[in-house]
């Protein structure tokens, strides 16, 4: 098998030598898929054959533009890069968001990929900074549910060859996106509670109008239609972004739902946007025994980020390890100009029980 791959790699390289020598700057080579078919080989083999020519500047590859022959001696074809990866992130209170950036930077630096991180509070501030720096091979953009304007993306695209977005709030554009379908996570949590006999299920979430958050709220209301209880909807909204809730925010939101005896009208609660488990635990504890001893809780979040759920609350969501692996591979490919169409990558949803559901007898 190794000999066959090596043989195909040699044939590819010899064919590329001839094809590039016979081409003029600006000509297009066949696509990666066409070369895969021509040589009956895998994508990785084609990419390995192309890599030396990319590094020498003999060819360049852009998503959507194909593989273009260059003259490495020409000033027009020699691109000066400020660095490999620009990490541009909107400042937030989410420790998980910061953890993603730290882990990605550490992994890519181990691959000898240079990384520059820049935090910003407004798009105007970010654009001001961009005007003072050079070009980067790719950009990891983290907006944390905030609005991403077309004007901002267009300005950013002038400084980077490609864009990878942390989150799937922006899709259908010429950029990669990595994130979680929180509607799917909510649906899984809802049905886990139904399977345990719960028919009075509340949803505590953000009141923000970001698409993912708004669609999760809508999904909850649709799911509630399947419940037999005459009062089956308890949508509890906090006017802050996920990751920005305080203990008081959670406690006050739940306290407003309490009945005269201190109990809640629902038996189960799905929580999204609490990124520190101790905050949820403390808020529930402060509400007293009627709530603490009788409320089943499922969190939506990272299944392998222990500080989020404390290994105490059942959790539905994605694994950070999978997210880190995907970001590392995707960004490394973009830095190396490997030819692949931009796409939206949805992380796999799973359920991890930790004993916070009290089954109700049927």
**Could you give all domains of the chain from N- to C-terminal order, each with its CATH number?**
2-69 (1.10.10.10), 83-180+320-346 (3.40.50.2300), 182-319 (3.40.50.2300)
What is the reported pLDDT for 74? 56
Give the pLDDT confidence score for residue 4 in this predicted structure: 77
What pLDDT shows up at residue 47? 86
What is residue 216's predicted lDDT score, i.e. its pLDDT? 96
8 A C-beta contact, residue 344 and residue 180: no
Average pLDDT over residues 220-246: 90
Q: Determine the average pLDDT of the residues in 269-297.
A: 95
Q: Count the alpha carbons within 13 Å of 111 in the hemisphere toward its beta carbon.
A: 18
pLDDT digits (tens, 9 = 90+) for 284-342: 999 999 999 999 999 999 999 898 999 999 999 999 999 999 999 999 999 988 777 88
- pTM across the whole model: 0.78
Q: Is residue 93 a contact partner of residue 122, using CB atoms and an 8 Å limit?
A: no
Structure tokens at 316: 């539905």
Residue 279 near residue 93 (C-beta atoms within 8 A): no
Opening angle at CA 342, ends 183 and 50, nearest 5:
145
Q: 67: closest CA among 36, 98, 92?
A: 36
Residue 1: predicted pLDDT:
43
Write down the pLDDT at residue 322.
94
Tokens matching residue 180: 């979680």
- Of 55-64, 169-178, 211-220, 266-275, least confident by mean pLDDT is 55-64
Query: Which residue from 350, 299, 347, 301 is spatially nearest to 324, judged by alpha carbons?
Result: 347
**Distance, CA of 84 to CA of 113 (rounded, Å):** 6
Query: Given a cut of 50, is residue 240 above it in pLDDT?
Result: yes
Q: Which residue has the higher pLDDT, 173 or 289?
A: 289
Torsions phi, psi for 19 (to 5 deg) = -65, -40
Bridge-based pairing of strands 350-352 and 314-318 is antiparallel
How confident is the model over 1-43, as pLDDT tens digits?
455 788 888 899 999 999 988 888 878 889 888 999 999 888 8
Return the pLDDT at 183: 95
CB 219 within 8 A of CB 187: yes
* Tokens describing residue 28: 């297009």
* Residue 131: per-residue pLDDT: 81
Q: What is the pLDDT of residues 84-127, one digit of tens each?
A: 999 999 998 788 888 899 999 999 999 999 999 999 999 999 98
Q: Supply the pLDDT for residue 224.
A: 95
- Span 42-82, pLDDT tens digits: 888 888 888 888 877 788 776 556 788 886 555 454 456 78
Do 182 and 300 touch, CB atoms closer than 8 A?
Answer: yes
Say if residue 324 is exposed, middle or buried (CB neighbours under 10 Å; 0-12, 13-18, 19+): middle
């Amino acid at each position: 098998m190794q000999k066959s791959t090596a043989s195909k790699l040699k044939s590819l390289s010899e064919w590329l030598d001839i094809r590039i020598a016979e081409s003029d700057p600006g000509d297009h080579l066949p696509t990666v898929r066409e070369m895969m078919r021509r040589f009956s080989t895998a994508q990785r083999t084609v990419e390995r054959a192309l890599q030396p020519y990319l590094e020498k500047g003999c060819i360049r590859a852009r998503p959507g533009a194909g593989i273009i022959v260059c003259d490495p001696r020409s000033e027009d074809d020699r691109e000066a890069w400020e660095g490999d990866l620009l990490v541009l992130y909107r400042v937030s209170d989410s420790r998980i968001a910061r953890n993603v950036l730290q882990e990605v930077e550490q992994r890519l630096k181990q691959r000898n990929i240079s990384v520059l991180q820049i935090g910003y509070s407004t798009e105007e501030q970010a654009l001001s900074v961009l005007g003072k720096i050079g070009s980067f091979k790719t950009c990891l953009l983290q907006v944390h549910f905030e609005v991403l304007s077309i004007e901002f993306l267009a300005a950013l695209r002038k400084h980077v060859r490609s864009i990878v977005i942390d989150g799937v709030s922006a899709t259908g554009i010429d950029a990669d996106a990595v994130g979680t379908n929180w509607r799917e996570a909510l649906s899984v949590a809802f049905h886990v509670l139904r399977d345990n006999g719960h028919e009075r299920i509340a949803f505590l979430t953000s009141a923000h109008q970001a698409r993912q958050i708004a669609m999760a709220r809508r999904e909850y209301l649709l799911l509630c239609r399947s419940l037999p209880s005459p009062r089956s909807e308890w949508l509890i909204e906090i006017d802050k972004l996920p990751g920005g809730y305080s203990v008081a925010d959670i406690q006050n939101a739940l306290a407003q739902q309490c009945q005269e005896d201190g109990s809640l009208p629902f038996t189960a609660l799905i929580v999204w946007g609490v990124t520190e488990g101790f905050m949820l635990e403390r808020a529930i504890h402060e509400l007293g025994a009627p709530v603490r001893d009788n409320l089943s809780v499922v969190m939506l979040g990272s299944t392998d980020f222990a500080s989020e759920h404390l290994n105490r609350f059942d959790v539905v969501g994605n694994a950070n390890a999978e997210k880190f692996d995907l970001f590392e591979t995707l960004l490394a490919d973009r830095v190396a100009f490997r030819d692949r169409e931009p796409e939206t990558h949805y992380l796999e949803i799973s359920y991890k029980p930790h004993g916070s559901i009290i089954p109700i007898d049927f």
